[in-house]
Structures are given as C-alpha cells and as structure tokens.
Amino acid sequence: MDWGLKNRLSRIIKPTTGRTVMLAVDHGYFLGPTSGLEVPSKTIRPLLRFADSLMLTRGVLRTSVPPDFDIPIVLRVSGGTSILSKDLSNEGITTSIKEAVRLNACAVALSIFVGSEHEKETLLALSELVNQAEEYGIAVLAVTAVGREMERDAKYLSLCCRIAAELGAHFVKTYYCEEFEKVVETCPVPVVIAGGKKIPEKEALQLAYNAVQKGAAGVDMGRNIFQSEDPVAMIQAVRAVVHKNASVEEAYEIFKKKKKEK
Ligand code: 5RP
C-alpha cells in the first residue's frame, strides 16, 4: 500500500483507536428522498463535526456539504438501480476515478452482490475499481449488499467480506451477525458494520457495541443516526461506544443527556 493510500485510510480509520464512525448518507442513490434525508444538507450539517467520515454520492456532496469543511469523503461510485428495479444487484460504476480525485475523496465505495444474478459483474467492477483507485492512492470500500432472499449469517457474510478483500478492497462494510468474530477473523482488511434499518436507540448502541467488541473497526451507520429522534445526540453516543469503549448503558446515558441539553 503506498503512502497516499495509507494516509487517506488513516484519515477515515483513526490511528489513535484503530476505529471509525462513518456517517452513511448515500441511501438516496437508489431509495430517492428516504425518510430523514429528504433535504440532505439539513440532515448532514449538524452531524458533520461528530463524524470521522461521510459516505455519500457526488450529487449530495456537491450540493449539500460545504467544501471548506474538513471531513474525509467516502464517495459511493456504484449505482444504476432504484428501489423499483426488479433486481437491485444490477449495479454499475457511476462515477469516474478522476471525479473522485477532483472531489478530494479519501475512498470510493461500491456494492458487491455475492450470490445474486449479477454477482460476476459486481465483483469484476470491484476489481476494476481497485485497479483504477490504486493508481491515485485512493482507498476502496466494498459494501457487501444483501439481496432480499440472502441469509445474513456469518457463513455468508464471511464469504462476501473475504472475496472483497481478496479482490483488493482496502476495507469492507457488512452487517452484524451471530458469530461476527468469524467474519472479522477471516477477513484480512478492516470491517465496519452498517446499522441497517431503524431500531430503538439502545438496541442500535448494543449493535455497535457488539460489533466493535467482536473486532469491527467501527461503524458506517446511516438510518440509526439520521432517523433517530435526536441524530446529534445519537452520533455522540455511537462515538463513545466506538472510540471510548463505552458500555451500552453509558452510551445510552450520553444519548439521553445530550438530548436533554437541547
Ligand atoms: C446500502 C448501503 C446504504 O445505502 C447505507 O450506507 C446503509 O447504512 P445503514 O444501513 O446504516 O442505514 O450501503 O448497501
């Protein structure tokens, strides 16, 4: 790994803790104006100072994030489907590496759909993205997207994460599952977890806690932050779990306290 790539990755995964709180706000790329992200700038701005990086598309980056705010960007560069598509796995690369460089991205993100109809195309797209991104020292995040019919268990998620790493991804985003430690152990690059659909705050903190205790390098969390009854309080509670090893009880107290302060 060259110096530039290591430097970009270390802006996302903080060397002091080896962990990261990534804020995922890329959902609109196939969901449109999803709940909590109807007006991206309103959602994103108050959260910016608490996030270690921002995962989003170029459209939302250009329109909704101040260019003078110093935050590492993880640019989603896959897409081409919508929630109305028959097959969500039919994604391609939407954004060039030159554009990622122009936008000063630290990493680019692409979904792979292992076991789906378009498995091969998405895996080859990941390989090609790694080839291109490495030329510029940009890191690649593989997102192990799960089809409606896929079982999110350790056996399947280990398969997805390991394939992503073998093809050259520098870090991987996946889901938390029972025996998550097996997913982390068998993946030679850092693994971060998605939050998944909105659940009560304390349960989402438990999810983050379990993941980091079992070896995750942190979270790339979206809905459980921006759909929270208090997103700013929630992201601070998640930070305590990820960077300070706070217990679920301690983090939930932080959530309640920050919420009350308002
Ligand atoms: C889908 C994605 C998302 O759009 C998003 O980043 C997921 O985050 P969360 O599940 O925490 O809302 O990566 O594959």
Q: What are the chain's domains?
A: 3-231 (3.20.20.70)
Q: Spot the catalytic one: 6, 42, 86, 173.
A: 173
Ligand 1 centroid, distance to 25 Cα (angstroms): 8
Q: Which amino acid is at 33?
A: P
Q: What is the pLDDT along the chain (262 residues), one digit of tens a residue?
A: 799 999 999 999 999 999 999 999 999 999 999 999 999 999 999 999 999 999 999 999 999 999 999 999 999 999 999 999 988 999 999 999 999 999 999 999 999 999 999 999 999 999 999 999 999 999 999 999 887 667 889 999 999 999 999 999 999 999 999 999 999 999 999 999 999 999 999 999 999 999 999 999 999 999 999 999 999 999 999 999 999 999 999 999 999 999 988 7
Ligand 1 centroid, distance to 142 Cα (angstroms): 12
Closest C-alpha to ligand 1, atom 4: 27
Put simply, whether the predicted model's pTM sits higher than 0.75 gets the answer: yes
Residue 72 CB partners (closer than 8 Å, separation 6+):
8, 11, 12, 52, 53, 54, 106, 107
State the pLDDT at residue 211. 98
Q: 188 in helix, strand or coil?
A: coil
14 is catalytic: no
Pocket of ligand 1 (CB under 6 A): 24, 26-27, 55, 111, 143, 145, 194-196, 221-224
Among the atoms of ligand 1, which is closest to the Cα of residue 146? 14
Beta strands in the chain (DSSP E): 20-24, 53-56, 73-76, 78-79, 92-93, 107-112, 139-144, 171-174, 191-194, 218-221
CA distance 83 to 86: 8
Among the atoms of ligand 1, which is closest to the Cα of residue 25? 6
Quickly tell me which residue has 């994030």 as its tokens.
Answer: 65
CB 64 within 8 A of CB 44: yes
Strand partners, 107: 74, 139
First-residue to last-residue Cα distance in the chain: 44
CA distance 134 to 140: 8
Nearest to 238 by CA among 214, 226, 255: 255
